[in-house]
Amino acid sequence: MVPELLILLNLIMGIVFGFIHRGKEDYVALLRNGALAGLLLGVIFVLAANYLVPGGIGTGTGVPAVAGIFGEIFLFFLIFLLGAFIGDKLEGVRRK
C-alpha cells in the first residue's frame, strides 16, 4: 500500500509542479526542470519505498537488484513528468 501512495503523491506533486510553472507554454523548460525534479523525487521515493516495504522490484543482489531500482526510479520519473504536463495543461485551461 505504501508504494501506491508514493506513486499517487508523485503524480500529485508533478501536477502541482506543472501548475505553478509560470510563463508561456515553454515545454522545453518544463521538460528540463521537470526532469531534474522528477529524477530527484524518483530517487527519494524509491529509496523510501524500498526502506518501508522491503522486497520490492530491486530485491536480491547484483545486477537484478540494481536494474530493478533503476527501473523503479525511471517509472517515478515518468509519472512525475506526466503529472507536470497535466498540471501545465490545467493551468492553460484555467487561464483561458
Give the model's pLDDT for residue 61: 60
The reported pTM is: 0.83
Give the mean pLDDT of the chain.
83
Q: Quick check: 95 pLDDT over 90?
A: no
Continuous segment of H or E residues that includes residue 13: helix 2-20
Give the model's pLDDT for residue 11: 93
* Residue 38 CB neighbour total at 10 angstroms: 26
- What average pLDDT does this structure show over 47-63? 66
- The residues, any chain, with a CB within 8 Å of residue 82's CB and separated by 6 or more, are 11, 14
The pLDDT confidence band at residue 62, using thresholds 50, 70 and 90, is low
Contact present, 88 and 30 (Cβ < 8 Å): yes
Give the model's pLDDT for residue 29: 86
Rounded CA-CA distance 7/75 in Å is: 9
